[in-house]
């Protein structure tokens, strides 16, 4: 993807702002956060915990992909020798 194309795609995305309560992003065009505006405090704590777990799972999945890419790269390098 070219730089111009990525800038054009970024310009089309709606502006986002961070919620002070749940720290997730939502469109600036909305007055209230779509994630937490109708949650009580215990539900908010559960949302934050669930979001943190998702971030940790994504991080560990990324590490597995990096390890697999390194193995594939090593195998390709060895195939040329």
DSSP characters over 13-70 = SPPEEE-TTT--EEETT-SS-TTTTT--HHHHHHHHHHHHHHHHHHHHHHHHHHHHHH
Q: What is the mean pLDDT of residues 60-68?
A: 93
Show me where the domains of the chain are located: 1-37, 39-81
Note the pTM of the prediction, 2 decimals: 0.62
Q: What is the pLDDT of residue 14?
A: 80
Question: Does residue 1 have a pLDDT over 60?
Answer: no
């Amino acid at each position: 993807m070219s730089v111009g194309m990525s800038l054009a795609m970024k310009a089309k995305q709606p502006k986002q702002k961070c919620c002070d309560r749940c720290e997730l992003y939502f469109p600036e065009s909305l007055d209230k956060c779509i994630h937490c505006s109708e949650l009580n405090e215990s539900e908010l704590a559960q949302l934050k915990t669930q979001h943190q777990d998702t971030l940790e799972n994504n991080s560990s999945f990324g590490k597995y992909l990096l390890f697999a890419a390194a193995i594939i790269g090593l195998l390709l390098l060895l195939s040329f020798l």
